Every structure is written in C-alpha cells, then in structure tokens.
Copies of this chain bind each other. A is one copy, B any other.
Amino acid sequence: MKKNIIAPRTLSGFMELLPQEQAVFNKIKSVLEGVYSSFGFFPLDTPVLEYSEILLAKAGGETEKQLYRFSKGDTDLTMRFDLTVPLAKYVAKNAGNLSFPFKRYQIGKVYRGERTQRGRFREFYQSDIDIIGDGQLSIINDAEIPAIIYNIFTKLGINDFTVRINNRKVLNGFYDMLGFGEQSQDIMRIVDKIDKIGQENVIEELGKIGVETEKANRLIEFIRIDGSCAEVVSKLKQLGDNEIYLQGVSELEQVTSLISSFGVPEKFFKIDLSIARGLDYYTGTVYETTLTAHPEIGSVCSGGRYDNLAEYYTERKLPGVGMSIGLTRLFYILNEKNYINKNDFGSPCDAMIIPMANDENYSQTLAYAVKIGAYLRENGISTQIYYENKKFKGKISYADKLSIPNVVFIGEDEIKNGVITVKNLKTHEQQTLAQDKAVEFIVSNKKQSGSLVIMGEEDA
C-alpha cells in the first residue's frame, strides 16, 4: 500500500536549526545559564500556555493582535508572549513561599504572531533575569545587572559592546522642570526614537503634540550630554533641583560607580540620556546594550527597574530590576554576520572511535572500542563510536563533516599493546598513546578552540 507523502515543512518564523548550528546555540545558552547561576539566580520554568485572562491583564493594542490565543473546551488559552507577565503571576501566586529578594532567571520560548520577515521570529527564546524585592529593593541590584551582562558577553567572546544606562527619574524630573507634566510619557516615547528617526523628526513630532521648538532643543541638548559617567553626573547635578530629578541623578551616580566595583571596565558602559525604554512600567534605572560596531541592530539586551511587578495580581508591592536578552535574535545576528567561531563548536563530541577490524576480529575489537569509549567519557571526553559497516574513507568523512576534532583508531595492535591511536583531524597530528596520555592529548586540543563568538576588529 503506497502512502501519501506529506511535504515536511516548518512554520515560517519558527527557527529550526541544523544540528551543528543548534549545538552552538545550546553552548551560548549554557554560557547564559552558567553566568546567571554563578550569581545565585534560581532557574524558573513556567508553562507556555496560560489563562488568557492572566496574560492579558495588562496587554493591549499591538500585542493582542499578535497573540496565539484559542479555546479548548471552556478555557480561553494564550501562549505566553513574554516571560515577564508569567513571572508576575508566579510571584503573586507563590509570594508566601518565596524568600525575597527573589532572584530568578528564565530562558524560554515566547510567541508573537508578527508579520514574518527576515530575522524576525514568531517563536523565539527570551532569556530573562529579575531580582524582586518585597516592598523594597536596594539600588545595588541595579549595578549587578550590567555586571552580569558584562560577564555573559565577554564569556561568549563578544568584546565590543556598550551597556547604555539611564534613569527614568532623571528624565521625568527634567521634563517636570521643563513644565511638561502629564505629557512626559508621550514625549519620552518620541525622544526614545531619536536613533531611529533622527533629531529633526523628533522635533517635528514633539511640535505636533505642542512642545515648543525652544524646549525641544533644550531637551535634545540634554539627552546629548556626553562624557565619562563621572562627567555626565557632574553636569547633570548642575542642571536643576527638582526632587525627583536629583534622586534620579543620585541613583545614576551610585549605580555607575558601583558597576566599576563589580570589575566592569568603563569602556563597556556609559550613561546615555537618550534611552528611555518604551514601556511604562520602568521607574528608575534603564538599560540597553548595543554591539558597538552594529548600532543598526539596536539593543540586544535591555531592561530596568520597576516599582511594581505584579500589580494586576496582588496588592503586595513588589519592586524589581531585570533584563532580557532576545536569544534567538542574538544568535541569528551573530550567525548572519559570521561571528560564530566554527572551530569545532558545532561538533557533537570530542572524539570518534573507529573500530578497525575484519569480520573475524570484529566482536573483540568492538568490545575494546566500547571499553575505551566508556573510559574517555569518564574522563570528560564526549565520545561516539562508529558502528556502521562503511569504507574507512566514509568513516573519516563522517567525522570531518561533523567537525569532530579527534578520531581514535582501534585495531589489533592497539588491543595487544593496550594503547589507542588518536588523530587530530585539524592538525593531522597522530599519536599512539596510553589511555591517560590520549585523554591529555584530546584535552589539550580542546583548549585551543577559542571562544564561541569571534568578532573581528572591524568598525561600523
């Protein structure tokens, strides 16, 4: 009976990587997990599906249209579109069982049915960290976040980035001083677009909502204030005495001076008064992170301080600070720009054993190969054994295609002498060694592979 063949397709906007790309993606993900854990963040995992009522407590406008929302039985369900709303629900729901400050990371897929276009995804990983306080949360936490970003990026091999820091109180206070009052949110949203639409368009848009050109110019002069963090803070201190404003300036001063204590060199962070983060719920420190050579990409890691995480689900005041990396998009960009180090990072293992034997000796050779495989694994060398019946050349070509860096040959001589022959497929160096020496050989090759990401010295 002949079956109907259905063409195998994947939904567009849903990233599905080839094995070696996926291996690299997962290594990047592990670096993130490793750094978050090293700072004492709990891992968290919440359902992909939630009651629509929960996810949409706040949402509106654009978000609603992009939802994957449906009913099953009587239940109105939605696939999560970010990790913040589920966190808010989680903390509100479990507050009695959590110890505050509650530090958690979550790396998970979220869903947004955006118009598909190159480099935009409908299913994508977000990688979030948040530190939530009960009623209050020390400003020091705001300095830890950039230190974590710095750790992640440098561990990945991304060495050309800037964490841009601002404070919403500084902006709100300054707007107050200019007499903007209730318009502040709208103004902030327009000014936030300056990198995208340019200074003139910002002045024009501000004009449309009634901001005089003189004030618009003062505003632009303000957000263009530049210099070292200390210089910017010092300039800001002279610009006004509004209470909120001064509180913001003081926070900005504390945060930026503490970041240095965390060991982050000053070239990796700066005060940038032009960033505001579009979202209403940020109330203090805000961050964006740009790849210095690629401003066109926009922020690859953003976040900030908020007063009230879960106001839709609880009366309890839960301030926090956090940041989010759009991991799928970041990977896409690094891959697209050819920054991924192809040096055997996409390999499924460190070594492949080839049992070399004719049919007669095969079972003895195989048993030895299997034993050597177990020995290598115990010593931290991931190892596969090639079992298939294929010509020698085909076996080597398999290892080559998978970028497996080392091949181990096991034949009659090796069994007799209790040794193994290891060949590095990159250097073509081949040695017959005792098992422990073979481990050393493979480990030393491993160390030479470098970092996951290699960004050239090029400038934008």
Which residues of A are interface residues toward B (Cβ below 8 A)?
3-11, 14-20, 22-23, 25-26, 37-51, 53-54, 57, 68, 70-72, 75, 77, 79, 88-90, 92-94, 97-99, 101-104, 109, 111, 113, 123, 133, 136-138, 140-141, 144, 258, 261-263, 310-315, 348-349, 352, 366-367, 370-371, 374, 377, 382-385, 387-389, 398, 401-402, 404
Cβ-defined contact, B388 with A101, below 8 A: yes
Given that A45-B17, A382-B40, A383-B38 are known contacts, is A89 also in contact with B10, CB under 8 Å in the complex?
Answer: yes
Residue of B3, B11, B383 near A49 (CB, 8 A) is B11
Contact for A382 among B20, B37, B99, CB less than 8 A: B37
A22 contacts across to B, CB distance below 8 A: 42-45
Please indicate the chain B residues that have their CB under 8 angstroms from the CB of A43 in the complex: 22-23, 26
Separation in Å of the A327 CB from the closest CB of chain B? Answer: 11
B374 touches A11 (CB 8 A): no
Partner of A374, one of B3, B26, B262: B262
Q: Which of B71, B77, B93, B111 contacts A8 (CB 8 A)?
A: B93
- Beyond A39-B382, A90-B16, A383-B39, whether A50 also contacts B10 by CB under 8 A is yes
Cα of A158 to Cα of B415 in the assembled complex, Å: 34
Give the complex CA separation of A349 and B315 in angstroms.
Answer: 30
Q: Of all chain B residues, which has the CB nearest A369?
A: B261
A68 contacts which chain B residues (CB < 8 A)?
A: 49, 70, 72, 77
> A352 and B40: CB pair below 8 A?
yes
Contact (Cβ within 8 A) A314 B54: no
| Closest Cβ–Cβ distance, residue A154 to chain B (whole Å) | 12
Q: Contact between A3 and B312 (Cβ–Cβ < 8 Å)?
A: yes
Residues of B within 8 A of A45 (CB): 16-17, 22, 25-26
